[in-house]
Structure 1
C-alpha cells in the first residue's frame, strides 16, 4: 500500500488552496496526497490516524501571540484557524511518532508547535546584513546557499556540505525547540533547516524543495524520496 500523506492547505475567504507542486512531489515518489481542511480540532485524532505522514506547506504569516509576542509592524496576513488546526495536528503526529516535513511556513509552525519561536520579520528584527530571502526570481530558481551541518539527518539524506536553495520568506525560526537541532544555515545565520533528535523523521526546511523537484534538483528529490520512504514504515 502507498503511504497516505496529509497536505496542509491555505485558507483565504473560505477557500482552501494548495500549490500543486506539493501534490506532484508526493505522488512522484510513491505517496498518496490528501489535502487537509483547516477545521475544528475535534477531528485531529481521526485525521492523524488516517494519514501516514504530514507535509506542512508554505503560506501566510503566523499569529505571534502563539509564541508570546504582540504583532510586529512587519507582520503580514494571518489565519488563526489554520494555525490552530496545524498546531494541534503537529502535536498529535509527534505523539504518534509519524513523519513530518515542514516547508517554509510549515517549518515555522512546526517550531511553534514543538515549543520553539520565530522572527515575525527578519528584515527588521535581525541586526545583521541579510541575504535576499524573498527572491524576485521564479520559484524554480535556486538563489542562495545553505551550509548543511555534519551529523544530521539532512546531511545523511543529501550527502552534500552545501546546497543551493530558493527563498520566499520574511519570517524564520529564531530558536529551535528543545529536542531539536539546527541542520542547515544560510551564510547570514538564518536557520534554514532543523530536525528532531527524538523522532525518526521530523524535518523543517525554510526553502521550497517541491518547486525544485521538476528541475531534477538532486537534494530536493532526495528529501522527498526519504520523506515518503519514512512514511511507509
Structure 2
C-alpha cells in the first residue's frame, strides 16, 4: 500500500483515437480501456492519459510511459505497401507515438510497449512488421475471433530483464494479427511464442524499455487472473526517475 500520493510516480499512457458513443454523443474521442488505468494504479503509479497532439512531446512531468494497444500501424512507416488484410490505421497516432517514444528514450524514461506498443517500438527504431501473421504461422490463435483474447505460451530468454520479472516461461493473453518481422537494430528479442512469433523485445542499455506482444493488463483466458508484474517493474523504474528529479 502506498501511503503518500506524492510518492506515486506519474505514468503516461498513450490513448486511442476512435469514434465513440456515450450518453447522447457519438463523436471522435481520445479513449483508453480502463484495464490499463487499473493496472498502473494497482502497481503504485498515477495514470495520466496522453492524447494525440501535433506538438512536440513535453515529458518533463512524466516518470514513465505505457504505449497501449490499438489499430494497425501504417506500413508506409516502414516502407511497405498495405497488405490485403491490413486493418484500419491511425497515421496521426503513429506519428505522435513515434515522437513520444523517441522523446522518452532521449530522457531515459522507463517504457512499456503493449501489443501495438511493442510494434511502435520496433518501427520507430527501424524495424518492420508482419502485416498479417496468420499467413505466416498458419493459424489464428493469436487473435481467435473479434473481441476475444487468445492465450499464448511464451519462452523468455534466460538472463533477460523480462525473464527476471516473469520467469522463463509464461502463459499470456493476446489479441493481434500483426507482429514484429525485421527487428530494429537497437532492440534485442527476448521472448518467443511456440510458433516462433516474436513476443518480447528489450532495448539494451536503457533504464527500462520493454515491449511485449501480449496484453498484460488483461486477465489470462480461462483463469481471469491479471498479472501486474510488468506494470510493477515499470513503476519501480519510474520511482527511480522520480527520485532523480527530486535529488
- TM-score for both structures, normalised by structure 2: 0.85
**Contact 1:146-1:165 within 8 A present in 2 as well:** yes
Paired residue secondary structure (1:193): strand
What is the distance in 2 between the residues matched to 1:52 and 1:135?
35
Q: How far did residue 113 of structure 1 move?
A: 1.0
**Contact 1:135-1:166 within 8 A present in 2 as well:** no
- The one of 36, 45, 49 equivalent to 1:35 is 49
Q: How far did residue 179 of structure 1 move?
A: 2.2
Q: How far did residue 16 of structure 1 move?
A: 1.1
RMSD after superposition: 1.9
Paired residue secondary structure (2:192): strand
Give the direction of change, closer, same or farther, for the CA distance of 1:41–1:113 in structure 2 (3 Å limit). Answer: farther
What is the distance in 1 between the residues matched to 2:29 and 2:217?
22
Listed as ranges, the matches of 1:39-118 within 5 Å are: 39-42=53-56, 44=57, 46=58, 48-118=59-129
Give the direction of change, closer, same or farther, for the CA distance of 1:38–1:154 in structure 2 (3 Å limit). Answer: same
Aligned residues: 224
**Contact 1:135-1:167 within 8 A present in 2 as well:** no
Matched, 1:24 2:32: no
Aligned to 1:145: 153
**Contact 2:144-2:150 within 8 A present in 1 as well:** no
Q: How far did residue 142 of structure 1 move?
A: 6.2
Q: How far did residue 175 of structure 1 move?
A: 2.2
Structure 2 residue runs of 5 or longer lacking an equivalent are 1-6, 20-27, 241-247
Matched, 1:133 2:142: yes
CA-to-aligned-CA distance 1:63-122 (integer Å, 9 cap, x gap): 000001111111110011100110000001011110100001111011111222111111
Runs of 4 or more consecutive aligned structure 1 residues displaced over 3 Å after TM superposition: 128-131, 136-139, 213-217
Structure 1 residue runs of 5 or longer lacking an equivalent are none
Aligned to 1:197: 204
**Structure with more strand by fraction:** 2
Paired residue secondary structure (1:166): strand
Q: How far did residue 178 of structure 1 move?
A: 1.4
**Contact 1:179-1:198 within 8 A present in 2 as well:** no
- TM-score for both structures, normalised by structure 1: 0.90
Paired residue secondary structure (2:185): coil
**Contact 1:145-1:162 within 8 A present in 2 as well:** yes
Matched, 1:5 2:11: yes
Paired residue secondary structure (1:200): coil
**Higher Cα radius of gyration:** 2
